[in-house]
Amino acid sequence: MKELEKKLRRQDYHQAKLYLFCNFVSLMLITAYSIIMMAPTVLDVLPEGGDSRKQMVAIFAMAAVGCVAFTIYATALFFRKKSRQVGILMALGASKRQLAPMLYREILVLGLLSCACGVAAGFPFVALIWNGFRLLIVDSAEMALNIRMECLKMPSAFLVLVILLACVTAKRYLKRTDILDTIQEEHRNEPIKELGKWCGPAGIVILLAGAVMGYYAPEIYMKLTQSYGGAWLNLFYVPVFIGLYMMLLHTVVHGWHFRKKAFGKNLVSRSMMKFQGKQTVNNLLVSTVLLAGACFAAFYVPAMAAGNLLNIRNRTCDYLYHYRADQRVPGREETEKLASEYGVSLKDWHEASYLSLGMDGMKYKEDGNKFYYEYEELKEEGKFFSEKGFREVTGITVTVEPGTYLAVSDNDDSVYSRQLTTDSTLLTNMVTRETLGIRFGGYVCYDLLVEEAGYYVLNDADYEKAAEGITGEWSGKLAVFNADGEDDYRFADRLFRTLISSFDKSCEMPSYYDRVQKISENEKGEVYWGDTEDMEEISFEKPDSSGFRQFWRYMPKFRILDQNDFIRTYAVYLMVFVFIFLICITAACVISYTRCQTIAVNNRYVFDDLRKLGASPAFLKQEVKRQCLTVIRTPAVIGICMMTLLYMMIMYANDGKISVSELAALGVCGVLILLIILLLYMVCRGTVKALVRELEIEG
């Protein structure tokens, strides 16, 4: 019996290849993603609780579901093919007691071997992609990848899941008593319940409605209850999956052809899909979600890069930096002398002083899950120019009425612009504690002065009054200038590092560290959160780190420096989302390939019958191609369109318009979509060729 079992296994060795391949790929992807998610390199850069880390975890959940899905399908297909071997042995008199050790031994060896190889391959896979990115695109000390062995927890759990799944499936097959049913298991179909042609259009409507409800539900809940909703608000996204399922069901059962002639033309290929409709629809659903996740990760890069690079290019001056008045920072003469060392001439030098004043207003506070607003006389710190000073550094002439102030905004209504304080009625000199009654007088636009700590403009007389008795710690200077002719990166980098060395340790703080809030809370006997471990660490010893370049309070804006160092500054962000894209697109391609294999191989007898009835090899190839096109094209079209619409909706919902920089980002996303389509086309062609060889279609 053992010799017979070995012969059958050797004859049908190919049935285990897909099972081994899917286990290997799923464990490799899960391991690679776990390494990235738990790497200190990534966790130190992506802020805890930030959108980037949440997006990384959300897409990992989708990728994990996808890996579980195609592992389940591969296991089911493996046992469907294995059932014939088991049935033959049972027909020859083998008992279940004899078959059980043989079957469990085989699946344990195959499962553990493929999974262990997948886990082991995950490490070089990550190293290859990460170091390739460093070698070909950008490298920095911050990009050195550190790996924590805790990352093996998730792959280990996934390995246990694979083995348990295989053992449970094996036990289910061994329980069967009908030998003929066991032998014919691989030919059994799973037709899906047909709905009317209305389910497709209705699914589109439900999907769009679910996307809108899910996106706006948290905002509506906050406005109605003045509190944060829990994770249950994500249930409003459930209609998205219901609508998506209905669309895929319509695709499998009816297709999207409205002419009867076209329907008849695809009758064979669609019928094969319908007879295995349950698995097909579920598989297409997972592939669609994964491709949507891949697009989301791919779109993150241009959405961040295109807008920032466009804003840098459109700046009105080449150099801008500001500093506290009590710091010994290089002035005009020293800077020009430094520039001359690199053959750079400077022009249009302008300077202006500003005051750092305390502003009152309604301060946002939290109480558990609830939030509320409470008036604070010392709410936050604001930086104020006089009319004359603002005109000096921007070239914009403004008239500020006495007793009012203007907020410096930008043309794109960025997130920092929306955080400007417009309800202040009292300004406080933090040295003398003298106050000045004030009210909001409107906005003035100048993009370069929009940042975390907002800039404002006072009437000249009010500025002089507020400045009485103020010290260098609570005042500052801002300088702007241009390069006269060709600029030099080496000069910009040298000036940047010279500026850093000019500041003392008291300026080693992030842009969101508010000194006025600190004083206010300390005077109440409370600890300011910025003095706890929750605050981002800013160190003059790491001037090239992503955190320093993004969040240092006095980070200068040098056009040539920002353009050349952009990729290095955001390298970890870019690498993480490029990696996520590769994980999701790989999982989607493997699932599609697995599904095409399942449909075609399970219907081998259909192709044999068509061949005997006189069907030409060209006709059979065309049917295989239609199968693969439906399986690969449908998730691609729905996933890409769904994510593109979602991105456009998010861009529009942010400020009620789509800005020029966002249009540029969408243009780059369009190019990426074409590349994704090209990749899927190549996968489709390769899958068709593999199936033609496996089905032995000649000609």
Most confident of 7-16, 165-174, 280-289, 550-559: 550-559
Whole-number pLDDT of residue 186: 53
Q: If you average pLDDT over residues 660-665, what whole number do you get?
A: 78
- Residue 558 pLDDT: 93
pLDDT tens digits along 71-83: 776 777 777 767 6
Q: Who has greater pLDDT, 380 or 610? A: 380
Alpha-helix runs per DSSP H in 189-276: 199-225, 238-253, 260-265, 267-275
Identify the pLDDT of residue 177.
Answer: 46
Span of 217-231, 268-282, 409-423 with lowest mean pLDDT: 268-282
* Mean pLDDT of the residues in the chain: 81
% of the chain exceeding 70 in pLDDT = 83
Under 8 Å CB-to-CB from 249, ≥6 apart: which residues? 192, 195, 199, 200, 203, 277, 281
**For residue 454, what pLDDT is reported?**
85
Beta-carbon contacts of 657 under 8 Å, excluding residues fewer than 6 positions away, are: 413
- Element (DSSP H or E) covering residue 691: helix 660-694
| pTM (2 d.p.) | 0.73
Residue 190: what pLDDT?
57
Does the pLDDT of residue 348 top 80, yes or no?
yes
Q: Return phi, psi of residue 201, to 5°.
A: -60, -40
Give yes or no for residue 374 having a pLDDT over 60: yes
Q: Return the pLDDT at 12.
A: 60
Per-residue pLDDT, averaged over 529-543, amounts to 80
Least confident span in 180-184, 193-197, 403-407: 180-184
- Among 606, 680, 695, 587, residue whose Cα is nearest residue 276: 606
For 436-458, write each residue's pLDDT tens digit: 999 999 999 888 888 877 899 99
**Bridge partners, residue 359, by sequence:** 380, 427
pLDDT tier, 460 (very low <50, low <70, confident <90, very high otherwise):
very high
| pLDDT surpasses 80 at 574 | no
- pLDDT confidence band for 194 (50 / 70 / 90): low
pLDDT surpasses 90 at 367: no
Which residues are CB-neighbours of 223 under 8 A, at least 6 positions away? Answer: none
Contact predicate 520/530, CB 8 Å: no
Q: Indicate if the pLDDT at residue 334 is higher than 80.
A: yes
Q: What is residue 471's predicted lDDT score, i.e. its pLDDT?
A: 93
Q: Which of 205-209, 371-375, 394-398 has the lowest mean pLDDT?
A: 371-375
Q: Is the pLDDT of residue 146 over 80?
A: no
CA atoms within 13 Å, Cβ hemisphere of 412: 20
| Mean pLDDT confidence for 537-547 | 83
pLDDT for 651 equals: 76
48-70 confidence digits (pLDDT tens): 656 667 777 777 776 677 677 66
Residue 411 neighbours by CB distance under 10 Å = 13
Contact 278, 579 (CB under 8 A): no
* Neighbouring C-beta atoms of residue 483, cutoff 10 Å: 21
pLDDT at 575 over 70: yes
- Dihedral, CA of residue 640, residue 645, residue 647 and residue 650, to nearest 10: -160
Poorest-pLDDT segment among 12-21, 340-349, 361-370, 470-479: 12-21
C-alpha distances out from residue 388 to 320, 392, 439, Å: 18, 6, 20
Kindly state the DSSP code that residue 195 receives in the 8-state scheme.
-
Backbone angles phi, psi at 321, to 5 degrees: -150, 155
Lowest model confidence (mean pLDDT) among 190-194, 360-364, 656-660: 190-194
Query: Which pLDDT score is estimated for 7?
Result: 66
* Rounded CA separation 56/299 (Å): 13
Confidence at residue 417, expressed as pLDDT on a 0 to 100 scale: 63
Task: Answer yes or no: is pLDDT of 264 > 60.
Answer: no
pLDDT at 506 over 80: yes
- Rounded mean pLDDT, 490-519: 91
- Amino acid 179: pLDDT: 54
199-239 residue pLDDT tens: 878 888 888 888 888 878 888 888 887 777 777 787 888 88
> Which position has the higher pLDDT, 350 or 264?
350
Among 269-278, 312-321, 523-532, whose mean pLDDT is lowest?
Answer: 269-278
Query: DSSP letters of 140-177?
Result: -GGG-----GGGGHHHHHHHHHHHHHHHHHHHHHHT--
According to DSSP, the β-strands at 404-409 and 439-445 are parallel
DSSP string, 467-501: TTT--GGGEEEEEEEEESSS--HHHHHHHHHHHHH
Question: Which residues, listed in sequence order, are joined to residue 483 by a DSSP beta bridge?
Answer: 346
For the ranges 115-124, 281-290, 401-410, 459-468, the lowest mean pLDDT is seen at: 281-290
pLDDT in tens, 165-180: 878 877 776 776 455 5
| Count of beta carbons in the 10 Å neighbourhood of residue 91 | 12
Integer distance in angstroms from the first to the last C-alpha of the chain? 41
Average pLDDT over residues 110-122: 85
Helices 660-694 and 277-313: crossing angle in degrees, nearest 10, is 150
Q: What is the pLDDT of residue 620?
A: 82
Q: Is the pLDDT of residue 25 over 70?
A: yes
Q: Mean pLDDT over residues 363-367, rounded?
A: 77
More confident residue, 698 or 507: 507
Bridge-partner residues for 364, per DSSP? 373
pLDDT computed for residue 315 by the predictor: 86
pLDDT tops 80 at residue 346: yes
State the pLDDT confidence band at 253, using cuts at 50, 70 and 90: confident
427/277: higher pLDDT: 427
